[in-house]
Structure 1
Amino acid sequence: MNEAATTTYQLLIRVAEPVRVRVGRLGQFDFPAGRYIYTGSAQRNPEARIARHLAASKRLHWHIDYLLDAPGVAVTGTLRFGEPECVVNQMTAGRILVPRFGSSDCRAGCSSHLKWLDGEAGLVSRP
C-alpha cells in the first residue's frame, strides 16, 4: 500500500499509579504515573485494531498490549490520522522512557512510539 492509504492512530493513555511492566522480549520497565501517547497504524481495518487494544481480554502480542494489560492503565481517548505512523509520531511531543517501544521495526528513525506527556501538550500540531 502507498503512504496515503496508511491509517495511523494514537491512543491517549492514563497510568494511575507507577507500575512495573514486563513488555514482552523488550524487558521490564517502570512506568511513572501520568499521561502517555502511543502511535500505531493498521494497513487494514484500523477500527478493529483500536477495538482490540481497548478489549479487556486479549493475547498479549504488541508492546502496547503489555502496558494496557497492567493494573491502573486505561485508554482515555483515540485520535486518527491519514499521515504515516512515523510522521505523526515524530510530530508528537513527549519524553521517551522506553526505547524501541512499538518501534522495533521502524525504519524512519523513531526511537519509540510511546511517549510520556509529563505535562507537555503531546498532541500533534496540525497545519
Structure 2
Amino acid sequence: MTIDLPNLPGTYCLVFHCSTSSLVTIGKLGTYQIKPGYYCYIGSAFGQGGLNSRVQRHLQINKRHHWHLDYLRPYLTPVEIWYSTDTIKREHQWAALLLEDEHSSIPIKKFGSSDCDCPAHLFYYEERPVFDKFDDKLNEFVPNHDVIKKKIN
C-alpha cells in the first residue's frame, strides 16, 4: 500500500481495522490479546522525509521491528490517515484528545509512548472513529492548530 503524503514534518493518526482476535507479543511491553475493532496510532514525523517517509514505513508489514507498531502491524488493515503539517509537534495533544474520547480505550499501556509521559499513543474503538468529530474537537482543544487532512485507503 502506498499513500502519497507530503515530505514535510508533521503529526499523524493512522486508523486501522482489526478483523480477528490474536495474541501479539510487542517487544518488551509483553504479550497482549488484540480484538476486532479499530485502532488509532498517533505519531509525529520530524526527521528526514517527514510524514511521507514515516507513514510509508508504518504501512509496511515485513520489516525490522523498531517501533511498537511494527509488532502489531501484521494484524491491522489501514483504513485512514489523518495528518497535519503543523510545524509544532502535536502528537501528545492528539493523544490527549483521543484519551478523553468516551468511545476510546487504551488497549496496551505505554504503546508508542515509552519516551514520553502519555499513557499510550494507541487507542481502541469498537466503531470506526469519525474524522470530522476529531477535527472539531481538536480545533476546540488547540485553537491555533494547522489544518488537518485525511487520506482514505
TM interval, short-chain normalised: 0.7 to 0.9
Q: Helix, strand or coil: the match of 2:138?
A: coil
Which structure dedicates a bigger proportion of its chain to helix? 2
Larger radius of gyration: 2
Aligned position for 1:51: 56
Structure 2, unaligned runs of 5 or more: 1-7, 140-153
Match among 4, 7, 10 for residue 7 of structure 1: 10
Shift of 1:120: 6.9
RMSD: 1.9
Q: How does 1:1-127 map to 2 (within 5 A)?
A: 7-44=10-47, 45-70=50-75, 73-81=76-84, 82=86, 84-92=90-98, 93=101, 94-107=104-117, 110-119=118-127, 121=129, 123=131, 124=134, 125-127=137-139
2:22·2:35 contact (CA, 8 Å) conserved in 1?
A: yes
TM-score w.r.t. structure 2 length?
0.71
CA contact 1:37–1:122 (8 Å) conserved in 2: no
> 1:122 and 1:19, CA in 2 relative to 1: closer, same or farther beyond 3 A?
farther
CA distance 1:6–1:87, shift in 2 (3 Å):
farther
Q: 1:78 is aligned with what amino acid?
A: I
Q: Secondary structure at the match of 2:58?
A: helix
Conserved 8 A contact 2:37-2:126: yes
TM-score normalised over the length of structure 1: 0.84
Aligned-partner Cα distance in 2 for 1:102–1:67: 11
Secondary structure, counterpart of 2:70 in structure 1: helix
> Kindly, what percent of the aligned residue pairs are identical?
30
* Secondary structure at 1:14 match in 2: strand
Q: Secondary structure at the match of 1:126?
A: helix
The CA deviation string for residues 68-107 of structure 1, in whole angstroms up to 9 with x for no partner, is 023xx21111110225110011112310121000001113
> How far apart in 2 are the matches of 1:69 and 1:24?
14
Q: Letter of the 1:86 partner, please give it.
A: H
Judged with a 3 Å threshold, the aligned counterparts in structure 2 of structure 1 residues 51 and 121 are, in CA distance, closer, same or farther, namely closer
Per the TM alignment, residue 11 of structure 1 is displaced from its structure 2 partner at its CA by 0.4
